[in-house]
């Protein structure tokens, strides 16, 4: 399968059309941004690591009955995917308070939530991806109420699978972001799942092993990503 035209270039990935109208190739870059592009940098070999982690997690989710856009891992940086009409809703699932939950609502960082929280954000960089309620998404025409109900229950099911998968690998799944898209009448999980889009804390030490190390200049970014990759890929 060959890349033809560049369809879209995002902050961490490029998406290319292929000879097959139903398939695209997602190429993972080393570029890193945070706070909606206000902080820019690069993480050595991040594209290779995030592609490997995402492909493994998507195929593991498929084994648990979650439909995703993954077709196959093509090369170090390239993932062959079903082409999606992306739903402009970022779905965040939270198990432990961190990040904007701490900033907005004053939870002490690390508070274990009695029940996971699912949030919807509008996928719109110009507006800084604002938090929204389902009614906003429907009024904006980005999704129907039925689709949002599917996104919420799908996100909860994915959380159950991922939480166990990571606990077995001595990582706490603090929170994460998912994107979904429409493909031939179905809703599939799209985008990526990686240390860019999740918060992982070491089960024993609570050490942060994700993009927060880049966001807050904590050092050891590459080592943290590589260690997550090792735990995801080697402990099968
Ligand atoms: P937050 O605490 O900053 O709202 O982030 C929640 C989770 O979502 C965290 O795991 C990081 C992820 N995330 C993204 O993947 N992309 C984004 O643009 C944002 C804001 C968060």
Domain spans of the chain, in order of start: 6-82, 85-220
CATH pick for 85-220 out of 3.90.1300.10, 3.30.470.20, 3.20.10.10, 3.30.70.260: 3.30.470.20
User: CA 45, CA 234: separation in Å to the nearest integer?
Assistant: 18
Alpha carbon of 138 to ligand 1 centroid (Å): 22
Regarding the beta carbon of 180 and ligand 1, being less than 6 Å apart is answered: no
Task: Give the ligand 1 atom nearest the CA of 103.
Answer: 2
Regarding the beta carbon of 177 and ligand 1, being less than 6 Å apart is answered: yes
In whole angstroms, how far apart are CA 17 and each of 25, 87, 130, 183, 190?
Answer: 7, 19, 29, 15, 16
142-200 pLDDT, tens digit per residue, is 999 999 999 999 999 999 999 999 999 999 999 999 999 999 999 999 999 999 999 99
Mutate to test the pocket of ligand 1, among 32, 38, 54, 92 (most ligand atoms within 8 A of CB): 92
Alpha carbon of 164 to ligand 1 centroid (Å): 21
Regarding the beta carbon of 93 and ligand 1, being less than 6 Å apart is answered: no
Regarding the beta carbon of 102 and ligand 1, being less than 6 Å apart is answered: no
Tell me whether domains 6-82 and 85-220 share a fold.
Answer: no
- How far does Cα 213 stand from its chain's mean position? 17
Q: Which fold has domain 6-82?
A: Phosphorylase Kinase; domain 1 (3.30.200)
CA angle 9, 58, 14 (to 5 degrees): 10
Q: What pLDDT, on the 0 to 100 scale, is given for residue 235?
A: 66
Is residue 236's pLDDT more than 80?
Answer: no
56-115 pLDDT, tens digit per residue, is 999 999 999 999 999 999 999 999 999 999 999 999 999 999 999 999 999 999 999 999
Over residues 2-31, mean pLDDT: 97
Q: Torsions phi, psi of 200, nearest 5? A: -120, 130
In whole angstroms, how far apart are CA 126 and each of 36, 129, 160?
Answer: 9, 8, 33
Burial of 152 from C-beta contacts in 10 A (0-12 / 13-18 / 19+)? middle
Question: In the chain, helix, strand, coil percent, each to 5?
Answer: 30, 35, 35
Task: Give the ligand 1 atom nearest the CA of 98.
Answer: 2
Regarding the beta carbon of 30 and ligand 1, being less than 6 Å apart is answered: no
Regarding the beta carbon of 49 and ligand 1, being less than 6 Å apart is answered: no
Over residues 26-39, mean pLDDT: 96
Regarding the beta carbon of 176 and ligand 1, being less than 6 Å apart is answered: yes
């Amino acid at each position: 399968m060959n890349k033809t035209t560049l369809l879209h270039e995002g902050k961490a990935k490029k998406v290319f059309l292929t000879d097959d109208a139903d398939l695209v190739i997602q190429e993972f870059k080393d570029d890193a941004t945070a706070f909606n592009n206000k902080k820019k940098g690069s993480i050595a070999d991040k594209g290779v690591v995030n592609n490997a982690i995402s492909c493994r997690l998507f195929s593991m989710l498929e084994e648990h009955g979650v439909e995703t856009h993954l077709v196959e891992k093509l090369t170090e940086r390239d993932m062959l995917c079903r082409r999606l009409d992306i739903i402009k809703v970022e779905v965040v699932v939270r198990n432990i308070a961190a990040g904007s939950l701490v900033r907005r609502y004053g939870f002490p960082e690390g508070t274990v939530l009695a029940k996971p929280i699912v949030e919807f954000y509008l996928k719109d960089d110009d507006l800084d991806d604002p938090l929204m309620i389902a009614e906003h998404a429907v009024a904006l025409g980005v999704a129907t109420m039925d689709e949002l109900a599917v996104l919420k229950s799908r996100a909860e099911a994915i959380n159950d699978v991922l939480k166990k998968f990571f606990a077995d690998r001595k990582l706490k799944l603090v929170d994460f972001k998912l994107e979904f898209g429409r493909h031939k009448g179905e809703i599939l999980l799209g985008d990526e799942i990686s240390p860019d889009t999740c918060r992982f804390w070491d089960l024993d030490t609570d050490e942060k092993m994700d993009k927060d190390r880049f966001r807050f200049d904590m050092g050891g970014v590459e080592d943290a990503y590589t260690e997550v990759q090792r735990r995801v890929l080697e402990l099968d």
